[in-house]
């Protein structure tokens, strides 16, 4: 039986870069955690130790800094496109180049144009790949988006067996720490504007939806984003159910009309799905 090298790639991870843009008295800051990689014909390196076609990962790190200085990208998606284009053009052995960026959010302190505070409600993400034949793939999303609703959430009618202890409810707290990703259908787009529209559709639907389960609300959120933004092909959401358990105050002679809860992180329900279009135009 022959032993062969399978799929492989290499690159640099956790390249942290902060860029300051100064337009007069007003400043903007962008903090990105960048991962870059190359995939292609690197068999000689793995099998024979021949490094002649290997770009040092330290050079990849320096490239991120250098391009960040020169680029005029309006979004991290545009910066990602510049990065993968550079790596494909300068690495003939690479079949494809990829980049993933996680953005740390900063916002201005009220009344100051050059001072900031951490806006930690979520982390924006993007992933860009470019193949040798010029095919781009751009997807964006977020991590660690805290969502909570105190009404319009029920869970009942589920399976019961001898190990089921969960009580049905028509009025529960619904909390999640969501991760989302959507895939764009082009590259010449206003990614910042589209992100705002997609996130607005997702969050507004979460708040307004009369939820019968996390699954149902997840689907409603993804469908709303697809209905409102034609420039995306599909939406993938992960929504772990962060439970808030009602405290039994009866031993203390008190009632608890859905007011006092214990928030718990572990164990938690894990719910995820990808929702996409059936139109052939959106298929890979």
Cα-Cα-Cα-Cα dihedral sign, residues 228, 214, 236, 233: negative
Rounded mean pLDDT, 199-206: 97
Which residue ranges form the domains of the chain, and what is each CATH number? Answer: 8-134 (3.10.270.10), 142-279 (3.10.270.10)
Query: Is pLDDT above 90 for 242?
Result: no
SS3 84: helix
Does residue 283 have an active-site annotation?
no
The percentage of residues in the chain with a pLDDT greater than 70, rounded to a whole number, is: 98
| Catalytic entry in 12, 86, 122, 209 | 12
| Catalytic entry in 19, 27, 57, 104 | 57
**The tokens of 240 are what?**
């772990």
Does residue 12 have an active-site annotation?
yes
| Catalytic entry in 61, 86, 242, 243 | 243
**The tokens of 200 are what?**
């607005």
Reported as a single tens digit per residue, the pLDDT across 83-106 is: 999 999 999 989 999 999 999 999
Rounded mean pLDDT, 27-41: 95
Rounded mean pLDDT, 241-245: 86
Residue 278's φ and ψ, nearest 5 degrees, are -95, -15
pTM of the entire predicted model? 0.89
Give me the chain's average pLDDT, please. 93
Rounded mean pLDDT, 196-206: 97
Q: Please check whether residue 182 is in contact with residue 225, taking contact to mean a CB–CB distance below 8 angstroms.
A: yes
Q: What is the pLDDT of residue 282?
A: 44
Q: How confident is the model at residue 279 (pLDDT cuts 50, 70, 90)?
A: low
CA distance 33 to 15: 6
The three-point CA angle 12-14-15 to 5° equals 75
Q: Please check whether residue 61 is in contact with residue 34, taking contact to mean a CB–CB distance below 8 angstroms.
A: no
Rounded mean pLDDT, 34-44: 94
Does residue 57 have an active-site annotation?
yes
Rounded mean pLDDT, 3-11: 91
């Amino acid at each position: 039986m022959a032993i062969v090298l399978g799929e492989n790639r290499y690159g640099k991870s956790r390249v942290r870069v902060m860029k300051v843009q100064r337009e007069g008295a007003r400043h903007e800051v962008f903090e990105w955690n960048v991962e870059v990689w190359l995939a292609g014909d690197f068999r000689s390196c793995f099998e024979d130790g021949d490094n002649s076609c290997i770009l040092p990962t330290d050079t990849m790190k320096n490239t991120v800094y250098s391009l960040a200085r020169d680029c005029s990208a309006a979004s991290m998606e545009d910066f990602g496109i510049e990065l993968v284009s550079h790596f494909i053009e300068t690495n003939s052995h690479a079949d494809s180049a990829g980049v993933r960026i996680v953005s740390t959010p900063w916002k201005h302190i009220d009344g100051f144009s050059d001072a900031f505070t951490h806006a930690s409600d979520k982390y924006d993400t993007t992933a860009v790949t470019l193949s040798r034949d010029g095919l781009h793939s751009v997807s964006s999303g977020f991590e660690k988006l805290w969502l909570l609703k105190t009404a319009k959430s029920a869970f009942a009618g589920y399976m019961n067996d001898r190990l089921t202890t969960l009580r049905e409810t028509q009025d529960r707290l619904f909390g999640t720490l969501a991760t989302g990703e959507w895939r764009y259908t082009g590259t010449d787009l206003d990614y910042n504007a589209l992100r705002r529209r997609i996130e607005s559709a997702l969050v507004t639907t979460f708040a307004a939806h009369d939820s019968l389960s996390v699954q149902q609300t997840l689907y409603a959120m993804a469908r709303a984003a697809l209905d409102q933004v034609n420039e995306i092909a599909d939406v993938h959401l992960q929504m772990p159910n962060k439970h808030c358990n009602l405290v039994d105050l009866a031993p203390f002679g008190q009632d608890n009309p859905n007011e006092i809860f214990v928030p718990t992180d572990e164990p938690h329900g894990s719910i995820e799905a990808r929702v996409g279009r059936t139109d052939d135009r959106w298929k890979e």
